[in-house]
């Protein structure tokens, strides 16, 4: 999700537009009250969120560039710092934890050195690794970013994107069944990076399991299995993923075409809600329930953008907790939109700051702002 650079927080609030039906657009600004926001954040505490998907290590090699290599016309980076961070679905787990909830991370990594490093990173960040399986037939995905003079110069990916074999998929499904039987899981997130952990059969089995327990399912999709998430509660592609998944060409400013595409997706896949992140155009959410359609378009807030990496992970984290707690479509979209913007103000992949998100929500999404009297 991209947000436009702008003035500091609180200097401008863009009106939230609501689509009530097919007759036109209701442009009346929408807000909630302070107690609703405060209760929502309190209720985040302790909620168990099962996150299933591709995990990885984001590795950073940082240094300075002062010369060109004599071997080839490329810069030489003099390394002075190495840093390994949790990435992929594990970054969603970091966001869930930062919001006060309990991440239950499930994936498959390699029985390799990177796998050991990944498990140590989980431990260091206070995230349980009981849902992580290791396989001698896979490697642990690692993305190496080479940074010279504070500029990314090259990325090297060490990965495999073949599907889990039948034995690995069955082991993972068994683990998920055991965790969902033992823990009070409030929502399931599919976080797909097309690296092979999410197979079609596994997706179908986990959706069926969640539905049998009345647990909502939220999806952050990729192209390969875009059409595999039939019957989920919330489906969150960005505009690029929507284009690729439906094989259509849509501009972020063409809201009527977006509405039509989303409606087709909902009907063909029996999806209750679709939330599309539209970069600088904000977030569009369409919910169909009890024979009614509720649509909201939340424009992006103006911000100073440093890095958009990881914003989608933050958006799906906030949206999943909102769905688990039965928040309205508007509040789900508006709060997710705020959270995605917040993390874009920092360089690198960082989890959302819970207190700052709550402060912005009280200021921008309520009638009274931060006033208490």
First-to-final CA distance of the chain: 35
Contacts of 261 (CB under 8 A, 6+ apart): 242, 246, 248, 250
What was the pLDDT predicted at 29?
56
Q: Helix, strand, or coil here: 204?
A: helix
Mean pLDDT of the chain: 88
Domains, the chain, in order of start with CATH, read 17-364 (3.40.1190.20)
Can you give the C-alpha Rg of the chain in angstroms?
21
What was the pLDDT predicted at 248?
92
Burial (CB < 10 A; 0-12, 13-18, 19+), residue 66, is exposed
Region 269-283 average pLDDT: 91
The percentage of residues in the chain with a pLDDT greater than 90, rounded to a whole number, is 75
Q: At CB < 8 A and 24+ separation, what contacts does 238-247 make?
A: 238/1, 238/276, 238/277, 238/278, 238/279, 238/312, 239/276, 239/277, 239/278, 239/279, 242/276, 245/221
In whole angstroms, how far apart are CA 168 and each of 30, 123, 138, 198? 47, 23, 10, 11
Place 1 in a pLDDT band, splitting at 50, 70 and 90.
Answer: very low
Strand duo 234-235 + 273-277: pairing = parallel
Region 351-363 average pLDDT: 92
What was the pLDDT predicted at 61?
95
Per-residue pLDDT reduced to its tens digit, 63-76: 999 999 999 999 99
Judge contact between 294 and 273, C-beta under 8 A.
no
Q: Is residue 79 scored above 90 in pLDDT?
A: yes
What was the pLDDT predicted at 52?
98
Q: What is the pTM of this model?
A: 0.89
| Residue for token pair 């599919």 | 190
Indicate which residue of 54, 58, 220, 313 is catalytic.
313
Q: Is residue 26 scored above 60 in pLDDT?
A: no
Q: Is residue 182 scored above 50 in pLDDT?
A: yes
Higher pLDDT, 102 or 252: 102
Q: How far is the C-alpha of 134 from the C-alpha of 143, rounded, in Å?
A: 19
Region 326-332 average pLDDT: 94
C-alpha triplet 305, 34, 316: angle, nearest 5°: 45
Burial (CB < 10 A; 0-12, 13-18, 19+), residue 365, is buried
Neighbouring-strand partners of residue 179: none
Is 163 one of the annotated active-site residues of the chain? no
Region 212-233 average pLDDT: 96
What values do phi and psi take at 130, rounded to 5?
Answer: -70, -20
Q: How far is the C-alpha of 334 from the C-alpha of 31, rounded, in Å?
A: 9
Which of 22, 13, 71, 27 lies closest to 297 in space, CA to CA?
A: 27
CA 240 and chain centroid, separation: 15
What was the pLDDT predicted at 304?
66
Per-residue pLDDT reduced to its tens digit, 145-176: 999 998 889 999 999 999 999 999 999 999 99
Q: Is residue 302 scored above 90 in pLDDT?
A: no
Judge contact between 247 and 253, C-beta under 8 A.
no
Structure tokens at 320: 């999943």
Q: At CB < 8 A and 24+ separation, what contacts does 81-84 make?
A: 83/59, 84/57, 84/58, 84/59, 84/60, 84/117, 84/121
What was the pLDDT predicted at 343?
79
Q: How far is the C-alpha of 320 from the C-alpha of 191, rounded, in Å?
A: 11
Q: How far is the C-alpha of 185 from the C-alpha of 50, rounded, in Å?
A: 6
The percentage of residues in the chain with a pLDDT greater than 70, rounded to a whole number, is 88
Neighbouring-strand partners of residue 297: 17, 284
């Amino acid at each position: 999700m991209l947000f436009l650079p702008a003035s500091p927080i609180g200097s401008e609030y863009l009106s939230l537009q609501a689509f009530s039906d097919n007759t036109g657009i209701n442009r009346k600004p929408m807000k909630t009250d302070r107690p609703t926001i405060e209760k929502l954040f309190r209720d985040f505490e302790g909620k168990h969120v099962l996150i299933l998907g591709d995990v990885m290590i984001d590795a950073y090699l940082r240094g300075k560039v002062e010369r060109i290599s004599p071997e080839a016309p490329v810069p030489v980076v003099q390394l002075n710092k190495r840093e390994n961070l949790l990435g992929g679905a594990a970054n969603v787990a970091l966001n869930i934890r930062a919001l006060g909830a309990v991440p239950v991370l499930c994936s498959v990594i390699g029985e390799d050195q990177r796998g050991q490093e990944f498990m140590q990173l989980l431990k260091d960040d206070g995230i349980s690794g009981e849902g992580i399986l290791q396989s001698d037939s896979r490697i642990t995905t690692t993305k190496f970013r080479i940074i010279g003079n504070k500029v990314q110069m090259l990325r090297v990916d060490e990965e495999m994107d073949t599907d889990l074999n039948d034995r690995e998929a069955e082991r993972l499904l068994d683990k998920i069944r055991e965790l969902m039987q033992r823990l009070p899981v409030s929502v399931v997130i599919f976080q797909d990076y097309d690296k092979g952990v999410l197979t079609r059969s596994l997706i179908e089995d986990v959706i069926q399991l969640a539905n049998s327990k009345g647990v909502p399912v939220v999806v952050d999709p990729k192209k390969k299995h875009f059409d595999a998430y039939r019957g989920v509660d919330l489906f969150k592609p960005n505009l690029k993923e929507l284009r690729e998944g439906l094989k259509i060409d849509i501009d972020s400013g063409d809201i009527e075409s977006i509405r039509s595409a989303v409606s087709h997706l909902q009907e063909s896949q029996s999806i209750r809600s679709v939330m599309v992140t539209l970069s600088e155009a904000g977030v569009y959410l369409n919910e169909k329930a009890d024979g009614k359609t509720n649509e909201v378009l939340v424009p992006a807030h103006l911000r100073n953008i440093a890095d958009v990496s990881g914003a989608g992970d933050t958006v799906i984290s906030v949206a999943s907790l909102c769905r688990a707690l039965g928040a309205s479509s508007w509040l789900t979209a508006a709060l997710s939109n705020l959270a995605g913007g917040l993390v874009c103000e920092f360089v690198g992949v960082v989890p959302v700051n819970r207190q700052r998100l709550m402060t912005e929500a009280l200021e921008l999404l309520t009638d009274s702002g931060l006033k208490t009297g």
